[in-house]
Amino acid sequence: MLNRVAAKRTDTSEDLVALIRRLAQHSADAEIAMILAKQGRRTATGLSFTATRVAGIRERAHIPAGPHHQATRDDGVSIHEAARQLGVCTQTVRRWLREGLLPAQQTTPHAPWRITLTEDVGRRFTPAVPDDYVRLAEAAARTGLARQTILNQVRRGDRDAIQVTQGQRRGLRVQLHPDEQGLLNDEASGSQ
């Protein structure tokens, strides 16, 4: 019968220590533990990772705790923050990441994405719509016309409109004429 030698907590593999070193640059111990758990990794003794166990490995390997500084825009933003800034849902941002459309980094699978949002990226994904162009429903409300009437005006060339794509949604933005800009405001102030 063979005698097994029990694994020691100091038997952490070098590749795991290197991964924790990379992750600690951007993530706290609890987040590193979550990433390692999602990857199905275990400690040298076969236990699941916790923030305390990650901290122990970090300390033995002389890895500084992260993140050391307040995240800046240069470090990248999270999926949720990118969705907020681009005016789309998180699923759209995830799709754009899968398709390679957004500049982003991920230290390892299951680690958080760090998305680089520059003005150029913002312009690519959020169309610039002039101030006097509004959604079709808003144009109908401001003018008191039916949506179909406004669409007919666009078809005849009596009213300008632009097609806007945001994520997978597409919509029409209709130009209001200068005399229509304050139509609802005038009615509201006249009724007071």
Which pLDDT tens digit goes with each residue over 169-179?
667 888 888 77
More confident residue, 156 or 7: 156
Residue 36 has pLDDT above 90, yes or no: yes
112-157 pLDDT tens trace = 889 998 888 877 777 677 878 888 888 899 888 999 999 898 888 8
Interior angle at CA 35, CA 14 and CA 37, nearest 5: 85
Residue 169, SS3 per DSSP: strand
CATH fold of 73-125 reads Multidrug-efflux Transporter Regulator; Chain: A; Domain 2 (1.10.1660)
CA distance 180 to 132: 10
Residue 1 has pLDDT above 90, yes or no: no
Residue 17 has pLDDT above 50, yes or no: yes
- Is residue 139 left, alpha or beta, with left meaning phi > 0 and alpha meaning psi from -120 to 50? alpha
More confident residue, 154 or 73: 154
